[in-house]
A and B are shown apart, each in its own frame.
Chain A
Amino acid sequence: MMDSKLQAGHQDSQSKSPAESGPAYWLSLEELEAHPGMAERYENEFMASPLSADDNGFARRDFLKVMGASLALATSACVRRPAATIIPYAKAPKEITPGEANFYTSSWFDGYEGAGLLVKTLEGRPIKLEGNPQHPINLGALSARAHAEVLSLYDPDRLRGPRRNLVNKDRSNSESVSTKFEEADAAILEVLKKGGVALVTGSKPSPSVRAIIGDFSRAFGVRWVEYDALSLESVREGQRLSYGRAVLPRYRFDLAQFVVSIDADFLGTLISPVEFTKQWSKRRTPGADMSRLVCFESTMSLTGMNADDRVRIRPSRQLDVAFALLNRLARKGATMPAGLAESAKAFSAAEGEAGLDPMFLDRVADELWKKRGTSLVLAGGLATATAQQLELQVVVNALNSVLGNDGKTVDHDSAVFQTYSGSAKSLATLIQDVAAGKVKTLIIDDLDLMTLLPKDSGFAEAIKKLENLIYTGNRNDATGRLSNWVLPVGSSLETWGDLELQSGIYSIQQPTIMPMYDTRSLGELLLAWTKAGSASARVKASETWLDYVKATWSQEIQSKTDLGRGKAFNDFWIELLQTGVAMSGGRRERTSSARAFVGRVSVKPAPNRAVMELVLHANSQMMDGRYANVPWLQELPDPVSKVVWDNYLAVSPAWAREQGVKQGDVIEITSGDFKMRAPAWIQPGLHDAVCTMAVGYGRKGLGKVAEDSGFDAYQAAMFNAGQPIFSGRLVELKKTKERYELVSTQIHHVMENRPLSLETTKAAFEKDQGSGIHRHHVFTIWPEHQYTKHKWAMTVDLNSCTGCSACVVACSSENNVQVVGKRYVMEGREMHWIRIDRYYKGDMASPDTVFQPVMCQHCENAPCETVCPVLATVHNDEGLNDMAYNRCVGTRYCANNCPYKVRRFNWFNYVKKRAEPLHMAYNPDVTVRTRGVMEKCTFCVQRIRRATNVAKDEKRPLRDGEIKTACQETCPADAIVFGDLNNKESRVAKLFAEKRAYTLLEELNNQPRVRYLTRVRHAERVDEKHGHGGGHAAGRAEDRQDQTTCAFEGGLV
């Protein structure tokens, strides 16, 4: 019917022009004669429509339309609408297509760790950070903190313009007025011209910033001091003492077959954890060549949790461990360095008292000796910042030297770190000078020194002598409040910059948004000021900060890089902006020659004391607390304890039992006249005479999020005249009657002998790749789903996953996952779509740890799908378990029936509660979920759709690896692989077929689309009692006991 009509119409239109000749076929005489009005008639489907215009030419529907419109006009004419302006993209930048993301290369550096970035921007607004795959340091991965920069940009609590604080003589006034940069400039220039100026910054590995600071210093005679709140000066200084040149070496975990770490948390916080994790995980591929890690630790760190063998020690025994190894190596034929011989003898004599297991040390030394040249011993980080921090570094350097690791696994020359250049010693001298009145004006760049410096530094008293204190911070925090001027520097996503994180690795920092507020980066600020002084040629030639950055690149950097050599600067610059990074090639792969060890130490073993030692440490989500006001990081469960929104005083289970301390009891820490209080957290794996606490929390004045989260542990540190002591302080702990609520996302810490996160040993794995897995016979009587297009699946390699939790934040950023706050996490309402389960095994005094990232398993036989009464969660034809938010009524039956407990419910209207302008960080590709609906991991379905559409547009099959989920993309360990099982060549299909692959809770026959690959522990003692039957029975008694020692429930609920 329709067809013939359409054809008729078609014919008609053809027949119009040759009206004279008439159509070849005709329906009626009128048509044949091309009667006027015929064409119009054919247009209408119904010959006699009741709607058509009749004689008066006014159809019924037209009448209704006109009537409706006039009614609407009549009624709305009286409504005064709020004035709103819609500005069209009349002059749209040509690269912007609304709805299409643009990616810009940039760099991120938080004072400690740096990374190359790809900034995802939509309509000119950065919404997500991704790692730049071309950047050799992070290779596409990012840490949790790097992701946080985007939320930090939209932080509602940061300053929106410069402020002048009306400080009085002793700087106790807190009045503050807003001002303009022009005003500030004028006033500050006057001050600068008077001289006596000092500048304190954090480490500045940026060539342009270093250059402008140089110009600025020369212009006004400014003294520049760098200081890192989480100092690694001891490593640089230890290198100088051992080899004559201060350097921050690059440890080569990609070359190390055997790593011994003495309190060096290189997977979590030390120097460049993302890079180290990348390298380390590569060497962890199960097989003959697999590396091995032994940790001697006084904290329970992420690295220790990933160790094949971990020994808990007190910080005062770090030297004992190093010397014990050195003595053993010497007995095996290594040359004992002359400068160490005497001390080594003393330690050898006292070894019995150190409480270390000599047999174990023998084995470690054997292995080191066997793998000399491919082993690595390292120490560093806050936990090693004891009074003997330098001696420890020297002995560790000696170990690497006698083992022939120097120059091989310890790169001291070709691509060493340019970060951590701060010097507490110089700062100590500066503070002295300030106190002596030698400094009139102090400029502090974005370092809240009032918080970050221990009380005994004398900083608080010294600054009262200053005439002017200028602070370039984004908040009126503890230091800001004391300053005359607070000049906000904004976010690194708003300004130009660059980084040389390792020598010869240069990356560019592009702004991706106009500065949101009236802010100026340090470079801009100094450039403006320097122009008024005796400026260098470069400063004079630079109208803007960008000009200055470009000049620095063209004059200093271009010629050093492969990308820039022999090119016009403009070509180089354009290419640089595209790649984001330029380097002089091969530096990172090169090994260098061994240096002559010249270190000397004279140190005696510490006496055995029955006193608690306090260890302060950093954790990977908070570091010095710079990002403490970013809710993502506060709500990110600590990789070790799974505690959110707080730090705590960690104590060992045995100590807690002995003292009757429960989780959350407030403990008073005393040491001399120092006193502070913190809640206790019972942490398996700690030495019984050690308590630990993370810094970076309890920071005041950062904003609403950071306020009331945790306790300031910096005050327990000692500055010790330029040698900061964070570890080994002797303290007394006393339980008080107070209680404090610590909230953890995981309140049960053992697997109850269930086959969940599976592991095996290297030996067992070599015999049988499927060892450690108990397979179940499952069958179904129903026909299985058929997939003709794609069949999405994911694998998670438990052997590479370190539990660093970067994926959790990446997922939150990509999928608009809401933060709910401490109280609601306590009530079990956290919203994370992916979580890292962490279980302890074995003896609670010194347990083994396993991790397991769990996201929606996208089951074939999904238990959630059958129980939803309204079909809000359904299986799609590519095997995804879809969630239709707008169909969801919220019965929550699906969550009950999900054995993996990955479904998250919107208990409240979280979207509405998000403070502006944080909503600007939302990913518009992902719906925000309203109150009362269920949500969960979608396998980043928006990325799948985008990639499949692109492939379809380009008329080609989808390539394997083209789709990366947000968690996979950011994973520093490359533990997550996503792909299409229908493509037999895909990585995921191959991993699915591996013998090491298993599904979680296989016996339920849900057939998850996520498979885990067993962890292979490079140690002997893993029990093989996994699986069913006898294993359960045998393991039970012992595990019950663990459970009682690990009964954390009492403290939390």
Chain B
Amino acid sequence: MSEASMNMASEVARKPLILGNKTYKDISDDICEPVEAAPGKRWLALLLSAKGLFLFYLIHIAIVVSTGMGLLGVNSPIAWGTMIITFVFWIGIGHAGTLISAILFLFRQKWRTSVARSAEAMTVFAVMTAGIFPLIHTGRPWLDFWLLPYPNQRGPLWVNFRSPLLWDVFAVSTYATVSSVFWYVGLVPDFATLRDRAKTKIRRLIYGALSMGWRGSARDWAHYEMVYLILAGLSTPLVLSVHTIVSFDFAVSQLPGWHTTIFPPYFVAGAIFSGFGMVVTLLTLVRIGFPKFKDYITIDHMEVMNKIIMATGLMVGYAYGSEFFIAWYSGNPYEQYAFINRAFGPYAWSYWIMVTCNVIIPQLFWVKKFRRSIPVMFVVSIFVNIGMWFERFVITVTSLHRDFLPSSWGMYEWSWFDTAILSGSFGMFLTIFMLYLKFVPAISIAEVKPVLYVGRQRPGGH
């Protein structure tokens, strides 16, 4: 702070993005430390419990695949359930990463550098976690490859390009590919740093291979910057398109409660909302786990994300309201019933959990103190995660459970396997995330160094 005030005379004061008067070496040391040090007990304990949950997940997937989808609560009329809900949930989570790394990069938002790596990692892992669900939710998962338009000998029998599920296949696979490549490209200079710092041969070999011969020459940097920019450009439309297309799964159908034009923007806003929720959850934990990271992922960073949470939360809230308005305004009795039923029917509890978590609780962030309080934001971000899972539950289940013919109305038969699949997916995600924290620099060294002096006087003056 004192340094900042010294600068005030000449330019508008900027808060430093990196605290603690770091030098470039400090940065490398701090960020590489978790990767280079021996694994801590806490990390090990967390990894093992996450892995236990992951194994539990795999076992239950195996049982479901070998026995039948009937083990879950899906039925007629609710033919999509936990798997699709959780799929959309995880895909949504991914959006914050891409937004931070791509869109904020293009907008030259320098604060993104500290959080981009983890957010991107979260994106990749979330998409991996999500990607499992469409594969295992089918009745015959061993035939899932029929959804790919590959050349075959079945004559005219190919995929149906009119089906939103097929669009989904393309959207999600594109998203998974681009975001992983983007993430990996960003990692290359850091892998090189790790390679250069490596003390053992194996380490040097592995990180050497991962860094793909990075030498840090001007040529390397020039190419790197260009590739990164291009990938950011490629990723940007994906932030909008992926969840738009996921929302088409619902919006293109005939079902009251699904068949609405607001879904694409509403889903994208919701996805960013939930994604930032998850980023805040994870980064508060990272800050606790690696105290040195507090200098890089500062309260200011967290506050900015909380502002985004609040903004997108309001958008989502607007969408909730708008849906009701349109249902009334359309004069469509089925649509009207669907929404009245959402708010006051047998699943009203889930609707109000959703509204409370997504619209009401984030309002705390109007108060600066809360916005900057780690415990408050942690709790709020957890609520946002819960709320966004319920949003998908509300959309999927409450629309399906009472559609056109009252004779066919029903209830979702939540079973043990629903619980197992839902909780198990967190096991998968957290396992990968824990491994990531140990083997990959969780903050981008190469990107943090250029912003080291933002809001700070460079040594030796200008």
**Chain A positions near chain B (C-beta within 8 angstroms):** 746-754, 756, 824, 826-830, 835, 837-839, 852, 854, 863, 866-871, 887-893, 895-897, 899-901, 903-909, 930-934, 1000-1001, 1004, 1006, 1028, 1032, 1049, 1053
Contacts and interface: CB of A to CB of B under 8 A. Distances in A.
Interface string B138-157: 11100110110000000001
A908 B69 CA distance: 7
Given A895-B76, A904-B76, A931 B165 contact: no
B450 interface: no
A896 B157 contact: no
5 contacts: A754-B405, A828-B78, A829-B76, A887-B157, A889-B138
B140 A889 contact: yes
A324 to B, nearest CB: 37
Given A746-B408, A837-B408, A869-B169, 20 more contacts: A748-B407, A748-B409, A756-B405, A756-B406, A824-B70, A837-B407, A854-B407, A867-B253, A889-B138, A889-B140, A889-B147, A891-B139, A899-B403, A900-B405, A901-B403, A901-B408, A903-B76, A905-B69, A931-B139, A1032-B333
Contacts of A753: 333
A868 B160 contact: yes
Interface in B371-421: 400, 402-411, 413
B162 A866 contact: yes
B337 interface: yes
A870 B333 contact: no
A1001 B403 CA distance: 12
Contact of B69 (A750, A893, A932): A932
B159 interface: yes
A870 B75 contact: no
A905 B80 CA distance: 12
B252 interface: yes
B216 interface: no
A913 to B, nearest CB: 11
A906 B255 contact: no
A867 B165 contact: yes
Given A868-B160, A890-B69, A1053-B346, A899 B404 contact: yes
A890 B138 contact: yes
B349 interface: no
B70, B144, B333, B405 pick with most chain A CB within 10 angstroms? B405
Nearest to B410: A828
B333 A754 contact: yes
A828 to B, nearest CB: 3
A759 to B, nearest CB: 16
Given A892-B79, A901-B77, A907-B70, A931 B140 contact: yes
Given A829-B70, A870-B147, A890-B69, A839 B79 contact: no
Given A863-B254, A888-B139, A750 B165 contact: no
Interface in B11-45: none
Nearest to A1028: B333
B38 to A, nearest CB: 47
A932 B409 contact: no
B178 interface: no
Contact of A905 (B76, B144, B169, B404): B76
A908 B67 contact: yes
B158 interface: yes
B406 A905 contact: no
Contacts of A904: 76
3 closest A-B pairs by beta carbon, nearest first, are: A890-B139, A932-B139, A907-B70
A827 B75 CA distance: 7
Interface residues of B, number: 51
Interface string B316-337: 0000000000000000011001
Interface string B69-111: 1100111111110000000000000000000000000000000
B139, B169, B334 pick with most chain A CB within 10 angstroms? B139
B137 to A, nearest CB: 8
Nearest to A893: B165
Nearest to B147: A869
A748, A896, A906, A907 pick with most chain B CB within 10 angstroms? A896
A1028 B163 CA distance: 32
A907 B68 contact: yes
B146 A827 contact: no
Nearest to A753: B333
B74, B78, B163, B249 pick with most chain A CB within 10 angstroms? B163
Contacts of B411: 747, 828, 1049, 1053
B73 to A, nearest CB: 8
A905 B139 contact: yes
Interface in B261-288: none
A870 B159 contact: yes
Contacts of A752: 337, 406
Nearest to B146: A870
Nearest to B346: A1049
Nearest to B139: A890
A837 B77 CA distance: 15
A401 B275 CA distance: 83
A867, A891, A895, A1028 pick with most chain B CB within 10 angstroms? A891
B159 A869 contact: yes
B254 A828 contact: no
B163 A868 contact: yes
Nearest to A1047: B346
Nearest to A863: B254
Given A866-B162, A870-B159, A932 B146 contact: no
Contacts of B404: 754, 899-901, 1001, 1004
A891 B135 CA distance: 9
Nearest to A825: B75
B73, B80, B407, B413 pick with most chain A CB within 10 angstroms? B407
A754 B406 contact: yes
A655 B140 CA distance: 49
A889 B143 contact: yes
A824 B405 CA distance: 21
Nearest to B258: A896
Contacts of B70: 824, 827, 829, 907-908
Contact of A839 (B159, B255, B407): B407
A1047 to B, nearest CB: 10
Given A838-B407, A901-B76, A871 B333 contact: no
Given A754-B406, A905-B139, A1053-B346, A899 B254 contact: yes
Contact of A893 (B157, B163, B346): B163
Contacts of B138: 889-891, 932
Nearest to A871: B160
B166 interface: yes
B164 interface: yes
Contact of A828 (B139, B166, B249, B413): B413
Interface in B297-313: none
B190 to A, nearest CB: 39
A935 B147 CA distance: 19
A888 B140 contact: yes
